Amino acid sequence: MFQVEVWGGAGEHGRSCYYVQFEQRAVLLDCGVKKGQEEMYPLLDAAKARELSCVFLSHAHEDHSMAIPLLYRDGYTGVVWTTRSTAQQLDNYFASWQRYVEDAGYELPYTKEHIEQVRYRFVEDMASPGQWFTIEPGLQACWGPSGHLAGSIWLLLKNDGKTLFYSGDYSPDSKLLISDLPSPEYVHDLPFAILDAAYADDETGQEQLLKEFVATCERVLKQGGHVWLPVPRFGRGHELIQIVAETFPDTQIVCDERLEQGFQTLFEEELWLKSESVVPYKEMWSSRVQVLSQEQIRQKSVGSDKTIFLTADPMLQSKDASNLLEAFQNKPENAIILTGHVYPGTCAARLLAEEEPGVQVIRHRYKIHQGLPEVTRMLDQLKPKTTLLVHSPKEKTDRLQAKLVAQGYKNIVSCTPGDRIVID
Ligand SMILES: [Zn+2]
Ligand SMILES: [Zn+2]
């Protein structure tokens, strides 16, 4: 028997944190934060945190990682198992989370010392993807790429014969990043799985979404406007660049220096990349992408050469973003296309809510998570006895649960933080 306590991340978007209590030990899966006014941190239990055997971190995004120093503040002294690539990306996330918290008028609940106390160990030093390795006697782990971000992984844990699968954030649709799943014999009779269901019961596939995205870009450019894609430093921006470069061969593509750094980091370690895409991607980048400073981007945006801009600030929170926004708002033909989750209280959310933002603000999702088709595929492959759907508001995972149950899937759980699931 084991229990899973949701400390965050189920029934909501953000602060992913799952406490897994086996008979003789407990582990934690992720420890993230949530942007917004309330409930920014997981429901941590200091006494339980101190007793953890270890912590696993699936990837660098703040909604999985930025509350980890709280564990050390509360007296945890163990290690955080992750990938080297994830650990390297975290400095940027710590800096931007601190900025976000302070700009929102709050105080960071941990110090630089707590961040420095975090001890990382790397799963790739222990075993190749898809192979078991021993964490401590009685506890084994297995990992593989999840296609969501460079360094992002799924995890399989085995404690005294009881196995648990955690998808992390998972995308089978990436054009650049590899993803796989554990081999069938490892998940035979799988008691429990925690699955990324950020897009809940949405059935739209990536191809359809891309068609709609490309059509919008085409319309804006034809009408003489520029397109601005605010994206994270790592992740979907690099895939979107490739798509617009291929689709609009006569349009200039400009990115900022932060996105360029993200590109350099991505290609430093090819472990996460689809090998066939590496050479064409690098060629595309050097021949098509112009890297400019923030000021040069602002100047170019008031010019008439039709251009697609990509900047590494998805919620438009920085001073650079507000400068560019001011320039962009001079021309109603210009369009800002938001391709990811829009967090409440951010500049991007405010723009979306404005009746006359002075510029077109359009949403097009680029999938880096799972919705109904991908969750179904994962259930068919892993056949877990009990499945917890996470990464989406409760009313949405309820809808997904209802659809899955109607299709014949059993023991599908939709819940909220504070809930506990007991697995026999
Ligand atoms: Zn993520
Ligand atoms: Zn996430």
Ligand closest to CA 232: 1
pLDDT tens-digit profile of 240-298?
999 999 999 999 999 999 999 999 988 887 889 999 999 999 999 999 999 999 999 99
Q: Are residues 384 and 315 in the same domain?
A: no
Q: Are residues 236 and 189 in the same domain?
A: no
Q: What is the CA(336)–ligand 2 centre distance, in A?
A: 23
Q: What is the CA(51)–ligand 2 centre distance, in A?
A: 25
Q: Are residues 344 and 405 in the same domain?
A: no
What is the C-alpha separation between 272 and 147, in angstroms, rounded? 8
Ligand closest to CA 34: 2
Q: Of 363, 397, 412, at which residue does a domain stop?
A: 363
pLDDT tens-digit profile of 49-90?
999 999 999 999 999 999 999 999 999 999 999 999 999 999
Q: Are residues 44 and 187 in the same domain?
A: yes
Q: Of 335, 363, 391, at which residue does a domain stop?
A: 363
Residue 342 DSSP label: P
Q: What is the CA(63)–ligand 2 centre distance, in A?
A: 5
What is the C-alpha separation between 235 and 241, in angstroms, rounded? 11
- What SS3 state is found at 401? helix
Backbone angles phi, psi at 376, to 5 degrees: -60, -45
Q: Does residue 69 contact residue 33 with C-beta atoms inside 8 Å?
A: no
- What SS3 state is found at 113? helix
Residue 270 DSSP label: G
Q: What is the mean pLDDT of the chain?
A: 95
Q: What percent of the chain has pLDDT over 70?
A: 100
CATH number at residue 416: 3.60.15.10
Q: Are residues 115 and 52 in the same domain?
A: yes
Q: Give the structural domain span for 293.
A: 206-363
Q: Are residues 411 and 314 in the same domain?
A: no
What is the C-alpha separation between 273 and 279, in angstroms, rounded? 11
Q: What is the CA(368)–ligand 1 centre distance, in A?
A: 8
CATH number at residue 347: 3.40.50.10890
Residue 18 has pLDDT above 80, yes or no: yes
Q: What is the CA(169)–ligand 1 centre distance, in A?
A: 5
Q: Of 363, 381, 407, at which residue does a domain stop?
A: 363
Q: What is the CA(61)–ligand 1 centre distance, in A?
A: 5
Q: Are residues 288 and 373 in the same domain?
A: no
Ligand closest to CA 235: 1
Q: Are residues 130 and 190 in the same domain?
A: yes
Q: What is the CA(188)–ligand 1 centre distance, in A?
A: 27
Q: What is the CA(120)–ligand 2 centre distance, in A?
A: 20
Q: Are residues 212 and 322 in the same domain?
A: yes
Q: What is the CA(370)–ligand 2 centre distance, in A?
A: 11
Q: Are residues 173 and 263 in the same domain?
A: no
Q: How many domains does the chain have?
A: 2
pLDDT of residue 343: 87
pLDDT tens-digit profile of 366-396?
999 999 999 999 999 999 999 999 999 999 9
